[in-house]
Amino acid sequence: MVKISGRHIKTILYLLEQKYPVSASRISKEIDVNINTLRKDIPQFADFLEENGLSLRARPRIGLKIDGPYEKIEGLKEKLTLLENKLFDRKGKVW
């Protein structure tokens, strides 16, 4: 099982919403992650998606795109959205 962090969740959710390949530079700007960090994370994204029945298409000079059955994409979106809400919800925390 591949461990994922908050930035991984943000990146994967962003890619799940895209219908066309997106360049790494655009992704890094949209989710505010260093491009070098994003590039290092790509193998982890691919492993995580593969575990969930999806695949990451990385095409040089074109971009990244997640491929797979619609049902699996929607299911993963739901799971990651719930997980993201748990990770980033600060309302219930006592400071």
pLDDT over 70, % of the chain: 92
Question: Among candidates 60, 56, 50, which has minimal Cα distance to 23?
Answer: 60
Structure token digits, residue 3: 């461990």
How many other CB atoms are found less than 10 A from the CB of residue 12?
A: 24
75 vs 3: which has the higher pLDDT: 75
Structure token digits, residue 15: 């890619």
Whole-Å CA distances, 76 to 34, 36, 69: 25, 25, 11
Structure token digits, residue 65: 């795109």
Contacts of 44 (CB under 8 A, 6+ apart): 2, 4, 8
The pLDDT tens digits for 41-58 are 999 999 999 999 999 999
